[in-house]
Amino acid sequence: MALPDFPIPGMHFFVSGNGFTGSLKGLNYRIEPVKANEEEDIKAHFAVFVWYGMLSSEFAEKQAEATFPLDADGRAALIAWLEAQYKAYSEK
């Protein structure tokens, strides 16, 4: 089975501070860019989680969550992670 392409904006969208919520055949996902904070030793990263069902991300139960560096390699890893989450979801 070929994995679908996740519709995710490019890096400029996230570096500008925008979050993104999407869905693919019942698997919902939310991606938030987190800015670096040297005082708290936080590096810039993507925070992403997935959930199932019709509830909004605010009220839904998180099924899985992960973080990735806020760069092109991190974006590619995030997409690969979403593909793995979709595969696990579709096999249920």
Q: Which residues, other chains included, contact 41 with Cβ-Cβ below 8 Å and sequence gap of 6+?
A: none
Q: Is 73 exposed, middle or buried (0-12, 13-18, 19+ CB in 10 A)?
A: exposed
Q: Once rounded to an integer, what is the mean pLDDT over residues 5-27? A: 91
Amino acid code (one letter) for 30: R
The pLDDT-based confidence of 1 (bands split at 50, 70, 90) is very low
Counting every residue written for the chain, the total comes to 92
Q: What is the pLDDT of residues 31-89, one digit of tens each?
A: 999 998 888 888 999 999 999 988 888 888 999 999 999 999 999 999 999 999 999 98
Contact at 8 Å (CB) between 51 and 64?
Answer: no
pTM: 0.88
Angle at 41 between CA 67 and CA 63, to 5 degrees: 20
